[in-house]
A and B are shown apart, each in its own frame.
Chain A
Amino acid sequence: MKEQNKAKLFSPKYWFVDFVRITGAIPTLLWYRPKITYENEAAKKKVRGGALVMCNHNCFFDPVYLMIALWYRRHHIICNQEFYNTKAKWFLEHVLCIPIDIENTGFQTMKVINEHLTGGEIVSIFPEGHINDGSGEMRQFKSGMVLMAMRAKVPIVPVYVREHKPRSSRLKIVVGEAVDINKMFDGRPSMTDIENVTAMLFDKENELKEIAFRRDRK
């Protein structure tokens, strides 16, 4: 069993991300006034020992919304390699982003993600790959996240963030119950199994979407 990465209260390595979180939290909470709903009682349980968080992708602020919804100290976000080729690179590196080439994921990236997950940290991913087209429908999920969770033997926590419109409204976030996909298979799953699990997680995300919109319909 791998020893979990212990987060020190003050660590020079993490000074910038701590600074951003503390200074950013108050205005963000005041402006968005997030309303976090849980799918059920089990979804309220704090994740221990690492987890992969999946979320729909409506806009560039989604990573911020995720940070608000799941307040973990070492929360890594998987981000498109393209952003690392811009001036934002320094910032992204210091706010614990992990670059990934979504079209041609390298094995080294998998190892980095695996290290964080098995170290007991939270890694968030947007399985749509890109921001969706704004129609309200999610893009098909990429199956890489399932492979990551299976390799690290961690659960997947589904989160749905409702598009923040109108801007004056409260931001609605739904957190689902963690899905432990490792319990679904005895041995090594095939690629077909992985694709089926991906489809199941897509349906799960749509269930959370229903919850996010339910209150408005009443």
Chain B
Amino acid sequence: MLTRAEIFEKLKEILIFADAKNRDIIENCDESTKLVTDLGFTSVSVLYMVIAIEESFGIVFDDVSMNDFPTIGDVVTYIEAKLT
């Protein structure tokens, strides 16, 4: 069972791979970092992230969209809930 910190680190790896241009911002981000305003995520980026999370964590997302995850912390919380 992954801890919250481990989920966060794994998620950061996914985000860095997805968006290498923002590598520095992602490496220094915390759970309060906003996906849209701080990282410049679009709806397609969020879908990409969701697909990558499903493959990496082996979970299945319900109907989610960009508005459901304002911050990285919200994504971590969602993954944590799905893993338990």
Contact = CB atoms under 8 A, between A and B. Distances in A.
A59 to B, nearest CB: 25
A192 B21 contact: yes
B5 to A, nearest CB: 24
A194 B66 CA distance: 18
A128 to B, nearest CB: 15
Contact of A151 (B51, B63, B64): B51
Contacts, number: 51
Contacts of A143: 44
B50 interface: yes
Interface stretch (A14-22, A98-106, A199-207): A98-106
Interface in B38-58: 43-45, 47-48, 50-52, 55
Interface string A190-202: 1110100000000
A190 B20 contact: yes
Given A107-B63, A107-B65, A188 B17 contact: yes
A103 B50 CA distance: 17
Interface string B44-84: 11011011100100000111111100000000000000000
Interface residues of B, number: 21
Nearest to B66: A104
A156 B61 CA distance: 26
A147 B47 contact: yes
B65 A190 contact: no
B61 A107 contact: yes
Contact of B44 (A101, A105, A108, A192): A105
Contacts of A144: 43-44, 47
A103 B48 contact: no
B29 interface: no
A107 B64 contact: yes
A14 B45 CA distance: 35
Contacts of A147: 44, 47-48, 51
Among A144, A147, A190, the most chain B Cβ lie within 10 Å of the Cβ of: A190
A164 interface: no
Contact of B64 (A103, A106, A142, A194): A106
B2 interface: no
A54 to B, nearest CB: 15
A181 interface: no
Contact of A191 (B19, B43, B55, B61): B19
A103 B64 CA distance: 14
17 contacts: A104-B67, A105-B47, A105-B65, A106-B64, A107-B50, A107-B61, A107-B63, A142-B44, A144-B43, A147-B44, A147-B47, A151-B51, A190-B19, A190-B20, A191-B45, A192-B21, A194-B44
